[in-house]
């Protein structure tokens, strides 16, 4: 019965408006995934191109986080992450309650040991990033994190048997080269500890992506709740005696967690059902690229010529890959 209903909801084979198809596909995606949630898995196969559109949108949304942080007045990193975690947890909890009703909290028991491990990996990656960005240069941190698609591709091949196409490999290489150009002037400084934390962040997030991809038929949204709880408790340890921040900083923290982070993480879980692990992490490079551009537009902080050149390369590579997949999608 469920299969027949899904077939009736399938989009038409031809259309003239791509935007309409994206909207229909997203609507179908949401309707199906939420209506069959009682089975505790989502058995949907929307087109890969549209899943890339989701990741593209998510990357654009989260790229505004740098601009938001620039408007923080006095809050330190641990204070930011504590209140960001509260907002993030509230947003994801609302989604769970809306989707499952009173049984929302019970969904945690369905994620299994791998779900718990995924939550721990995501939390460790977030903490490692915080330690990296405060102990080494932004350039060194970003360059190290640009290795995430490569690490994920290797792990996916070893543990999932996923063999990505030549076009994806080429896109990753070109985008990584663009990232290198963007931050070429900042590689000379930083500490070994900070660089190690950046590497740990890259490994942690790549491992998280592998587990999410491996369990793509399961509802993994509760892993975000668990990961967020771990992150919040760790942040509380470092800032429990200094929780007072300004209303401006509190508002920005809630925007960071409740809107930006919640959106991109939810879209990541949806897209993970339809894209290879390496493709998922490829879109992270857009965040590093677009961040300086928003600061340039809204704060008038002019980027270097290398940043503009490298950023153009990254954006072009990722967009061409997305457009190619969308074009190859049969509608």
DSSP string of 142-189, one letter each residue = HHHHTTHHHHHHHHIIIII-----HHHHHHHHHHHHHHHHHTGGGTT-
| Averaged confidence pLDDT in the chain | 81
Q: Which one has a higher pLDDT value, 179 or 125?
A: 125
Instruction: State the Rg of the chain over Cα.
Output: 20
Spatial distance between the Cα atoms of 163 and 145, rounded to a whole number of angstroms: 22
Spatial distance between the Cα atoms of 87 and 41, rounded to a whole number of angstroms: 26
- CA distances (Å), 223 to each of 11, 56, 147, 228, 301, in order? 31, 22, 24, 8, 37
Residues 197-222 have a mean pLDDT of 92
Q: What is the pLDDT of residues 133-146, one digit of tens each?
A: 888 777 778 888 88
Q: How confident is the model at residue 33 (pLDDT cuts 50, 70, 90)?
A: very low
Model pTM?
A: 0.80
Q: Which one has a higher pLDDT value, 75 or 5?
A: 75
Q: How confident is the model at residue 187 (pLDDT cuts 50, 70, 90)?
A: low
Spatial distance between the Cα atoms of 29 and 68, rounded to a whole number of angstroms: 30
Residues 216-243 have a mean pLDDT of 92
Q: Is 8 a residue whose pLDDT tops 50? A: no
Residues 108-137 have a mean pLDDT of 89
Q: How confident is the model at residue 62 (pLDDT cuts 50, 70, 90)?
A: very high
Determine what percent of the chain is predicted with pLDDT higher than 90.
41
Q: Is 248 a residue whose pLDDT tops 60? A: yes
User: Can you give the pLDDT at residue 134?
Assistant: 82
Residues 26-38 have a mean pLDDT of 39
User: Can you give the pLDDT at residue 24?
Assistant: 41
Residues 6 or more apart from 308 whose CB is under 8 A from it?
A: none
- Region class of 190: left (phi > 0), else alpha (psi between -120 and 50), else beta: left
């Amino acid at each position: 019965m469920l299969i027949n209903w899904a077939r009736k909801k399938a989009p038409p084979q031809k259309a003239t408006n791509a935007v309409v198809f994206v909207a229909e596909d997203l609507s179908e995606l949401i309707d199906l995934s939420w209506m069959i949630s009682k089975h505790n898995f989502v058995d949907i196969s929307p087109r890969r191109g549209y899943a890339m559109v989701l990741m593209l949108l998510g990357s654009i949304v989260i790229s505004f986080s740098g601009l938001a942080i620039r408007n923080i007045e006095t809050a330190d990193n641990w204070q930011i992450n504590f209140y960001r975690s509260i907002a993030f947890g509230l947003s994801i909890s609302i989604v769970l309650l809306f989707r499952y009703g009173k049984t929302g909290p019970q969904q945690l028991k369905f994620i299994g040991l791998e779900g718990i491990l995924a939550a721990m990996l995501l939390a460790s990656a977030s903490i490692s990033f915080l330690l990296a960005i405060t102990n080494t240069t932004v350039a060194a941190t970003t360059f190290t994190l640009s290795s995430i698609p490569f690490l994920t591709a290797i792990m996916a091949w070893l543990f999932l048997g996923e063999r990505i196409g030549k076009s994806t490999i080429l896109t990753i290489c070109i985008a990584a080269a663009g990232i290198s150009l963007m931050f070429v002037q900042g590689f000379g400084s930083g500490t070994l500890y900070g660089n190690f934390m950046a590497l740990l962040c890259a490994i942690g997030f790549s491992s998280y992506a592998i587990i999410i991809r491996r369990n793509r038929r399961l509802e993994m949204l509760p892993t975000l709740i668990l990961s967020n709880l771990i992150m919040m408790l760790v942040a509380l340890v470092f800032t429990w005696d200094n929780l007072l921040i300004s209303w401006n900083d509190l508002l920005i923290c809630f925007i960071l967690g409740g809107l930006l982070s919640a959106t991109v993480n939810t879209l990541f879980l949806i897209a993970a059902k339809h894209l290879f692990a390496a493709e998922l992490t490829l879109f992270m490079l857009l965040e590093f690229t677009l961040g300086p551009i928003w600061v340039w537009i809204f704060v008038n902080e002019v980027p270097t010529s290398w940043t503009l050149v490298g950023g153009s390369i990254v954006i072009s590579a990722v967009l061409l890959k997305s457009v190619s997949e969308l074009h190859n999608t049969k509608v």
